[in-house]
A and B are shown apart, each in its own frame.
Chain A
Amino acid sequence: MMNSKIKQIFDEIKLSDERDVEIKALLTAKLYENENKNKNEMENLIMIKQKKYRVLLIATILSLGLVGFTFGTQAIKLLTGVNYERGKNFTSIEMGYENEPFEIREDKVFFVLNEENIDITNQISEDDYYKYEYTDENGYKQIVIIGGSIEDVGFNIYLFDNNGISLASSGQYNPIDDNMTAPIWIQKADSELNKFR
């Protein structure tokens, strides 16, 4: 039959193996690129969402604190679980936390670091903060401050060396506006703790 002959003839016409491999590789690359693009877009969305609705992670190096420093790298694990490190040519502190300093239970806020369990509900507000001090065996002082309303609790931890020099801080809080302005309680704490710098 003529149509079967046409079918037979066209069946023998095939894409060359060389182009087949090229095109397949291109398609695979495109699919891979799309998947990663989608993944990145999703990650960006999550990041934007976090910026808008979640907290701002902060970490500040306040002083190089090199007084009396000699060789090697010195590392201090803060109560919140983040690491402060300083070497000959660098100083760093991690952002955020591993151990959240507070817990909210039955509409009350508790300070829970360092095996404490202190009800601080009445000591914190949008304008004021709770302060916890801890000094390690080497004389390094850590001051944890917690502030904000119960719906919007934030914290910051400051590290001071044994000379009272403020070395770094790390924490998280919700900015009060789109300009990322820190809430009053943390501004107040910064101001009051500046005397250590």
Chain B
Amino acid sequence: MNDSHEIIKLYDTYKNKVYRLALSYLKNTQDAEDVVQVVFLKLIDNRANIIHGKEQALITQITINHCKDILRSFWRKNKTELNFDISSESEDFENDEQQIILNAVIGLSTKYRIAVYLHYYDGYTFSEIAKFLNISPSAVSMRIHRARKILKKELGGLYYDEL
């Protein structure tokens, strides 16, 4: 891909997906915004690797890799407290129910949260998620299963049959 307009088009299409995924990983809006910037800058540098029709997978992979790098970083590990300000994102939520669900999902540990996000929000299959996270499909299945159990417990069984 050589057309600059195509890169900007990809940015417009996927910026919020990248932001949400990064926010799910990092639970910090500023960090997530920075991830969006870095991911698309990396995409420009790697535009030769963009395959038509597989743009989303590449962008998701770059996002996941970069979020993992951030979580592994010395600075992040030594942050005394995560600035979890996702609540500011949810001011427009229609009701408490959404807030409760969001809090429950965000409250999951990173590995469960990301698996839930990629599967239930982005719609990736277990195999696809396995490739992104470099784990086996069965490990993905296990994470989703455990996440559902935790959510069931957190949500008081309210959505047990629906998940």
Residues of A in contact with B (beta carbons under 8 Å apart): 1-3, 5-10, 12-16, 19-20, 22-24, 26-28, 30-32, 34-35
Contact = CB atoms under 8 A, between A and B. Distances in A.
Nearest to A8: B98
Given A9-B102, A12-B93, A27-B7, A2 B44 contact: no
B138 to A, nearest CB: 21
B23 interface: yes
A158 to B, nearest CB: 49
A13 B159 contact: no
Interface string B53-80: 0000000000000000000000000000
Which of A13, A14, A19, A20 gathers most chain B CB within 10 Å?
A: A13
Contacts of B36: 15, 19, 23
Contacts of A8: 98
Given A9-B101, A16-B33, A35-B4, A24 B11 contact: yes
A3 B120 CA distance: 5
A5 B98 contact: yes
A13 B7 contact: no
Interface string B38-63: 00110010000000000000000000
A2 B162 contact: yes
B143 interface: no
Nearest to A33: B44
Interface in B63-108: 86, 89-90, 92-93, 97-98, 101-102, 105
B44 A34 contact: yes
Contacts, number: 85
Nearest to A16: B33
B154 to A, nearest CB: 12
A6 B116 contact: yes
A31 to B, nearest CB: 4
B142 to A, nearest CB: 18
Contact of B37 (A5, A26, A32): A26
A13 B86 CA distance: 9
B135 interface: no
Given A23-B11, A35-B4, A10 B20 contact: yes
7 contacts: A2-B120, A2-B151, A23-B36, A27-B8, A30-B41, A31-B8, A35-B4
Given A20-B15, A23-B40, A27-B8, 11 more contacts: A1-B162, A3-B162, A6-B120, A6-B121, A9-B90, A12-B92, A22-B37, A27-B7, A31-B7, A31-B8, A35-B4
Contacts of A32: 4
Given A8-B98, A9-B93, A10-B121, A30 B44 contact: yes
B117 interface: yes
